[in-house]
Structure 1
């Protein structure tokens, strides 16, 4: 294996989609904002993605142009989840982050309320007048006993939204077009098709008893939908069959077939992702030993090409060392957790879904051993070499995840791959992952089957909100098959025939 640091300069550039910002006419005091768009007189649909993960808590405001289907960023407010306040006397602890921060319904609600309000104030918007919909999700699953226990967390997120002034009707699908804001009502197809659980024409996997087969399934669903929207900006046709990988602190994602009008989920990813490079940097002495993460370093330091050329052998050796501790395999039936994530592999198998997980020891217990990799890099080299090593570690994880999917006949030359999440799209990771995908020999033109995007989950929240309210764009569809047409007609035929959609 060779690092080939010059590959990103000499080879094709990876398709990276970044959300463009939309400037608004501010309704509240926001110095420096340019007045360009008045939401009250346009076809923009404003959605807030509220998410509390193991590392960050975010409120990302997006505005989708319902005429073109393209989504823009209005504001991104990010806080560190480690800063959630401690439980107060009498409050019930219902879970914890991967790093052990205890969570109560009240503490989560307060953090969400604050984050939501700050995001709207920064964008010059009001929650009651401008916000059309809120989608809530969480990647915090380390303290849960079962996949379906995540429901308690979603309720805590709802508490925070309601306390911030979000009307409950803006968190649930509309029953008919008349329930929608008159400004966007004309863009809805609720009189033709109803929301039946498929987001961007992909059905979610459910266990045989109706419970989720992996605790952060909704995050995987949102990331997949978000990459579909992001790919529009990058010029890549990311429609079924697809493979999405979200490299947040925990790993999520899904693999679909080419079913029509709805694709089925045939593979799911779970376990650890960004937690792995976080564990490496915690051994460097540059961040807090327990709660520190890569974000604490990358806001000050970034590796360069010279670092990779001079230290390529050291980078490879340390990346291989890290991967000696990393297991990537199909999750065995007897496991209830994989990489701190509650899973139900038996239900997955019974439902025709293969669960692929990334693990370090049993249930993440060997993560502290990765501290030694970071300690060695800092002692012998420098912080830039360590960051370059993290890029290669992530690229090797992506390669192993894809090879495992290929071994189990989950992906083929028809599949398009989408990557999102901080541990998959930053630094030189896109170039390195493109290099490894090319080396797999699966695609004639690998760059046409690979796309990277920021904020996949938040983009997916905007897509889910549109799907729930049938706000489609038939001339520029997100759903359906790669190279195919809109599935509106097929959905109408299916629903009007009264057929039951099987997941």
Structure 2
């Protein structure tokens, strides 16, 4: 049973959700930049600058972050966002290797060009140079709809690399260093633990799930990995201890995230989310006549309009009726063994099950084919109400998806009263969604203090890129750890012991 009642006034008077919001930091690079009012010089600080380059179904981003390696806190430098639908069409002779969820065809050359432009614009806006000020780049993609199997994402990552290299990123800034002496710039080497521990695949003390023979079990696994790590970093700003066991949900256009257990020093991924997320509200707004019926999305509206409490109070019955109507078409379940795709995402549920991982997916029809039917919900909302009521309905639709995902995870023993839940992505943190989700988590009765076990943040994936870059080069902060168990201590000693044991076993 899915709870429907909005209770807008109770949310207004109740506890506020924990929303992590990293401050922006202005830096003066060693090359200088006219007109900047910044007071920090990169060449003399302990900041580690990372670019997260990501092309999703809806947006293509380059988000620059700077992590203070003394404190472990990450700041935003710049966020440059483009619409993925604006990628140029394939040229004659170019090989199409995939497409977005909306059907935009992609080639290695067209993706590389879009990535290069985005990367260059981000650095220019921040007053930085790619060749001298950027320390590391992490690439990822949420575009998985046009692939046949999870492993095909590798081709996309290569296309992203092309864009980075043509923009001037040295290849060494995209791979982990072998030892401290290879780390650049030299002034940051003192913060690395590479002389004590090496990168063994665990990001923020979570091991990724892999199928038999190294086959990935879900195409956007890396995005789920980055989002989980990013929420761990963001939670530091909100005062929430988001360490294992955790449940992360990334509501981008497609759904990703994972559930971990409470093993130490590394937890295991015991569950993965996959399928559709922001694509659901996008399909609703495409029936409103306010956006392009083929490539439009919620972002086209929210840049001009915002839902409000008044819309909920005045039209709460209509909001609930339309949200329920939408959810009659939304299926949330454990992915059956015979499925190769779920909500457009290539999956390998049999390999997942063989490795102790449960796949939970969000679907609309078979492989998203019934998404256009949601257009009718948007058309009805605009005809009977207005754009603010439609946006308020989308908030409830997303909150109900979160509730159903969490209930399914609870049914399968993937979360418990020890778990901390983290939400990121445009369809999970905007508008009134955090308050609605907090309300529903409270009603589920999992936690004595629900607000202490729930955190929201923007750009979880980009934050996770900064965390992954640090993990690859062992830039840990033992005094303010991201890894380990909730309420526990740093796991550096336990990692050293484990890796030394592995070396002896191999010998």
In structure 1, the partner of 2:137 is: 134
- 1:293 partnered with 2:285: no
- Kept in 2, the 8 Å contact 1:19–1:230? The answer is yes
Are 2:16 and 1:13 equivalent residues in the alignment? yes
Q: How far does residue 33 in structure 1 lie from its aligned partner after superposition?
A: 3.3
Q: Please show how residues 149-168 of structure 1 align to structure 2 within 5 Å.
A: 149-168=152-171
Alignment size in residue pairs: 501
Give the distance between the partners of 1:421 and 1:461, measured in 2 at CA: 15
Q: How does 1:166-315 map to 2 (within 5 A)?
A: 166-181=169-184, 182-315=186-319
Whether the 8 Å contact between 1:59 and 1:77 is mirrored in structure 2 is: yes
**Structure-2 residue corresponding to 1:107:** 110
Note the residue ranges of structure 1 that are not aligned, 5 or more in a row: none
Q: Do residues 383 (structure 1) and 387 (structure 2) align?
A: yes
Q: TM-score, with normalisation over the residues of structure 1? A: 0.98
1: CA distance, partners of 2:129 / 2:66? 14
Pairing partner for 1:425 from 426, 429, 445:
429
Partners of 1:320 and 1:19 in 2: how far apart? 35
Residue equivalent to 2:459 = 455
The alignment status of 1:55 with 2:55, answered yes or no, reads no
The runs of at least 4 consecutive aligned structure 1 residues that moved more than 2 Å come to 26-33
Q: Deviations over 1:327-371 (max 9, x none)?
A: 000000000000000000000000000000000000000000000
Structure 1 residue 486 and structure 2 residue 503: aligned? no
Residues 1:64 and 2:67 aligned together: yes
Does the Cα contact within 8 Å between 2:30 and 2:41 map onto a contact in 1? no
SS class of match (1:311): helix
Aligned to 2:398: 394
Query: How far apart are residue 7 of structure 1 and its match?
Result: 2.6
Task: Give the distance between the partners of 2:374 and 2:34, measured in 1 at CA.
Answer: 45
Q: From 319, 324, 327, give the equivalent of 2:323.
A: 319
- Separation in 1, partners of 2:446, 2:218: 28
| Conserved? CA contact 2:51–2:465, under 8 Å | yes
Alpha-carbon contact 2:30-2:42 (below 8 Å) kept: no
What is the match of residue 347 of structure 1?
Answer: 351
> In 1, distance between residues paired with 2:72 and 2:370?
44
Q: In structure 1, how many angstroms separate the alpha carbons of the residues matched to 2:6 and 2:495?
A: 47
Q: Deviations over 1:42-72 (max 9, x none)?
A: 0000000000000000000000000000000
The equivalent residue for 2:128 is 125
Measured in 1, the distance between the counterparts of 2:391 and 2:34 equals: 36
Greater mean alpha carbon deviation, residues 135-144 or residues 35-44: 35-44
Aligned to 2:502, what secondary structure does the other structure show?
coil
Q: CA deviation at 1:235?
A: 0.2
* CA–CA separation in structure 2 for the residues paired with 1:426 and 1:7: 19
CA distance in 1, matches of 2:66, 2:32: 20
Deviations 1:128-152 (A, max 9, x none): 1000000000000000000000000
1:28–1:121 Cα contact (<8 Å) kept: no
2:28 aligned residue = 25
